């Protein structure tokens, strides 16, 4: 079977959607090597983000000068001609988009929708971004033979806001990169500790430092605790609020902003952390939570929305803006060794449902379901 993918983010997006796309292609090509996987990339990349060691994975670019110039038109429509030439049986839009014309060429389609945050929290997006996202997602969901939601929360939102029937939606959870599943040696940990001047005991948060991720609540929660906080992620205007609070409360020596880590260095930092705190207001899923569970790091996160799906029954939960409760729970994890140990062990067990083989099988089942109709 020849399977096509909308692969712009495979080659051009360093984080969330890019990681999802790269991992999905990798696990499918590994666990189902009998198939061929075509990655339709609209333009050449400046920095290599994806190299497949599998001989059944092929990058496909626009061939004609017209399509090379009008890359978006190629992605949205004329790529279908290339799919026909490549005998693609099923096409998977990895991030909420599908080209028009698949049905006319009898090419089955699947689309993954990660979240509808732009509908739930419109104030976080511009008017035009909201309109464009909604149009693309709704059109793709209606045209697709099957919609993959990355969580039960996202499935509910697709039903509510896009008015897609539940029978057309399958939930397939995300996984994370293999780098977070490896055990690192003491010497490797020591090198990372020295390179980034990491404290012996610290709370960790990973993700873009933006209002929705709510990192300021963590800073407030550690104010009266004898612990450091390490924040890893792209900084935005919201970061200024955090710096202002840090300055007003003289926390400069206890709050550390890191950037430029390799995947291995990030994975090691997870393993060095005493507790991972993720008080995000809303997510489609929450990959950093999975990364922490695989790293055997206790997790504290939001008690509402999708987060319990990702973090499981043995993580601790808070209302996202409850500074006092978060402070209490951080203190409890740091002081109660038996609790911390149980959270590490049970969290790792829970994470096994996000293993590569499980995800690959679930995705392939989706393809087979579509082709059997």
Burial class (CB in 10 A: 0-12, 13-18, 19+), 180: buried
Token readout for 140 is 């793709």
Residue 48 has pLDDT above 80, yes or no: no
**Averaged pLDDT, 253-270:** 95
Distance of CA 218 to the CA centre of its chain: 21
CA quadruple 133, 237, 20, 342: dihedral sign = negative
CA 302 to chain centroid: 17
| Ranges assigned E (strand) in 61-213 | 90-93, 108-113, 146-149, 169-171, 202-206
Q: Residue 261: is it exposed, middle or buried by C-beta count within 10 angstroms (0-12/13-18/19+)?
A: middle
According to the model, what pLDDT value does residue 292 have? 98
Please report which confidence band the pLDDT of residue 119 belongs to, taking 50, 70 and 90 as the band edges: very high
pLDDT band at 16 (very low <50, low <70, confident <90, very high): confident
Look at residue 121 in the predicted model and tell me its pLDDT. Answer: 85
Mean pLDDT of 76-91: 95
With tokens 């976080």, the residue in question is 124
Helix (H) or strand (E) holding 155: helix 152-161
Q: What's the pLDDT at 1?
A: 94
pLDDT score of 52 more than 80: no
Residues 367 and 110 sit within 8 Å (Cβ to Cβ) = yes
CA distances 57 to 25, 27, 51, 89, Å, are: 8, 11, 9, 15
Element (H, E) at 299: strand 299-302
Residue 340: pLDDT band with limits 50, 70, 90: very high
pLDDT grade for 186, boundaries at 50, 70 and 90: very high
Residue 2 backbone dihedrals phi, psi, to 5 degrees: -100, 120
Q: How many CB atoms within 10 Å of residue 371?
A: 12
Band the pLDDT of 159: cuts 50, 70, 90. Answer: very high
In the chain, pLDDT over 90 holds for what percent of residues?
A: 81
Q: What is the pLDDT of residue 17?
A: 84
State the average pLDDT over residues 194-216.
Answer: 95
250 phi-psi bin (left φ>0, alpha ψ -120 to 50, beta other)? left
Distance, CA of 353 to CA of 261 (rounded, Å): 27
pTM for the full predicted model? 0.87
Q: How far apart are CA 131 and CA 188, in angstroms?
A: 47
176 Cβ neighbours under 8 A, 6+ residues apart? 19, 23, 287, 290, 291, 294, 354
Mention every residue, 6+ apart, whose C-beta is less than 8 A from residue 167.
Answer: none
């Amino acid at each position: 079977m020849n399977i096509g993918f909308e692969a712009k983010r495979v080659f051009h997006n360093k984080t969330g959607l890019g990681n999802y796309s790269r991992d999905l292609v990798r696990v499918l090509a590994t666990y189902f090597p009998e198939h061929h996987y075509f990655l339709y990339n609209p333009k050449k990349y400046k920095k290599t983000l994806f190299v497949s060691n599998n001989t059944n994975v092929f990058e496909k670019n626009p061939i004609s000068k017209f399509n090379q110039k009008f890359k978006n038109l190629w992605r949205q429509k004329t790529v279908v001609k290339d799919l026909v030439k490549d005998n693609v049986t099923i096409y998977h839009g990895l991030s909420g988009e599908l080209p028009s014309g698949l049905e006319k060429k009898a090419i089955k389609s699947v689309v993954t929708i990660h979240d509808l945050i732009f509908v739930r929290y419109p104030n976080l997006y511009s008017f035009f971004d909201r309109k464009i996202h909604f149009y693309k997602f709704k059109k793709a969901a209606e045209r697709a033979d099957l919609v993959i939601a990355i969580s039960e929360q996202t499935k509910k939102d697709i039903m509510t806001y896009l008015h897609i029937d539940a029978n057309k939606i399958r939930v397939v959870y995300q996984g994370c990169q293999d780098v977070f599943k490896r055990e690192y040696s003491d010497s490797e940990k020591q090198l990372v500790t020295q390179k980034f001047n990491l404290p012996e005991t610290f709370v960790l948060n990973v993700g873009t430092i933006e209002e929705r991720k709510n990192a300021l609540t963590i800073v407030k929660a550690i104010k009266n605790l004898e612990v450091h906080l390490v924040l890893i992620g792209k900084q935005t205007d919201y970061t200024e609020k955090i710096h202002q609070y840090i300055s007003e409360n003289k926390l400069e020596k206890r709050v550390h902003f890191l950037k430029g880590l390799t995947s291995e260095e990030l994975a090691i930092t997870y393993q060095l952390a005493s507790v991972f705190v993720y008080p995000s207001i809303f997510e489609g899923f929450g990959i950093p939570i999975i990364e922490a569970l695989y790293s055997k790091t206790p997790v504290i996160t939001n008690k509402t929305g999708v987060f319990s799906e990702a973090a499981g029954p043995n993580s601790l939960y808070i209302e996202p803006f409850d500074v006092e409760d978060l402070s209490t729970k951080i203190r409890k994890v740091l002081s109660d060794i038996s609790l911390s140990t149980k959270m590490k062990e049970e969290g790792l067990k829970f994470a096994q449902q996000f293993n590569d083989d499980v995800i690959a099988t679930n995705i392939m089942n989706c393809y087979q379901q579509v082709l059997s109709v």
